């Protein structure tokens, strides 16, 4: 009985997270000049939600967005030099996203800049139940895993609100090495 309980306790957080962040990613912290590691499970999200005001329109918007979430996990590494991480560090994560529940909706690769960005969505019975973003840049690697009902545009549109900067980069002119896949 005790064994069954301990196994259940060990498995439950993984089930909540659904996609497991590769252990290899944590090792990158030693090489990185800046590391951001945010791990918010359902209970912490609920707690954070209680401190979001209904009166402030921006906070109310975030509160509504967070209401459908079960977990938010972000790992971001910034390096002083290029090529401090390997493709294999992210491959373990990509392997988990090859299951039938997951679909890669965006993959933008720029050989010129050495950037590779991917967005994956998980759907259950027609409902979005997970979002994973992998952004691999020469000196930066960011992995975001959001569990629960979320639409990428809802988070993107937070730009310019609640202290979140609105990114305004100049449109990129297509280069011969740039490739775009937009699978949905």
Partner 1 sequence: MMDDFEQQIKAALAKKEPSPFFEARVLGAAKRQARDRRASARMWWASAIAAALLVTTGSAWQYEREAHEQAAGREAKARLELALKITSVKLQKISQKVEGI
Tell me if 145 sits within 8 A of 73, measured CB to CB.
yes
Residue choice 127, 174, 176, 184 for contact with partner 1 (CB under 8 A): 174
DSSP string across 123-183 = EETTEEEEEEEEEEETTEEEEEEEEES--HHHHHTTTTSTTPPPP-PPPPPP-TTEEEE--
Q: Which x/- pattern, by CB under 8 A, does the window 68-107 give for partner 1?
A: ----x-x-x-----------------------------x-
Rg (CA), the chain: 18
Sole window of 2-10, 25-33, 80-88, 160-168 interacting with partner 1 (rule: CB under 8 A): 160-168
Residue 128 touching partner 1 (CB under 8 A): no
Residue 35 touching partner 1 (CB under 8 A): no
Angle at which helices 57-66 and 42-50 cross, to 10°: 160
Residue 44 touching partner 1 (CB under 8 A): yes
Question: How far apart, in whole angstroms, are the C-alpha atoms of residue 24 and residue 90?
Answer: 8
Nearer to partner 1, 89 or 118 (CB): 118
Question: How far apart, in whole angstroms, are the C-alpha atoms of residue 61 and residue 154?
Answer: 9
Sole window of 16-24, 82-90, 94-102, 152-160 interacting with partner 1 (rule: CB under 8 A): 152-160
Token reading at 86: 């390997």
Interface positions with partner 1 (CB under 8 A): 36, 38, 40, 44-45, 47-48, 50-52, 62, 66, 72, 74, 76, 106, 108, 110, 117, 119, 133, 135, 142, 144, 146, 152, 155-156, 158-159, 162-174, 178, 180, 182
């Amino acid at each position: 009985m005790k064994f069954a309980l301990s196994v259940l306790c060990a498995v439950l957080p993984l089930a909540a997270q659904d996609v497991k962040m590769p252990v290899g990613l944590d090792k990158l912290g030693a090489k990185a000049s800046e590391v951001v590691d945010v791990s918010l499970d359902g209970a912490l999200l609920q707690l954070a939600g209680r401190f979001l005001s209904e009166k402030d329109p921006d906070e109310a918007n975030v509160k509504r967005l967070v209401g459908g979430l079960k977990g938010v996990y972000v790992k971001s590494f910034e390096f002083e030099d290029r090529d401090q991480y390997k493709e294999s560090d992210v491959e373990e994560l990509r392997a988990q996203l090859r299951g039938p529940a997951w679909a890669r909706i965006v993959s933008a690769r720029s050989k010129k800049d050495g950037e590779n960005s991917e967005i994956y969505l998980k759907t259950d019975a027609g409902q979005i139940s997970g979002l994973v973003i992998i952004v691999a840049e020469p000196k930066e690697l960011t992995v975001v895993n959001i569990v629960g009902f979320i639409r990428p545009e809802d988070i993107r549109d937070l730009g310019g609100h609640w202290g979140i900067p609105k990114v305004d980069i100049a449109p990129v002119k297509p280069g011969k090495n740039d490739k775009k896949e937009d699978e949905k």
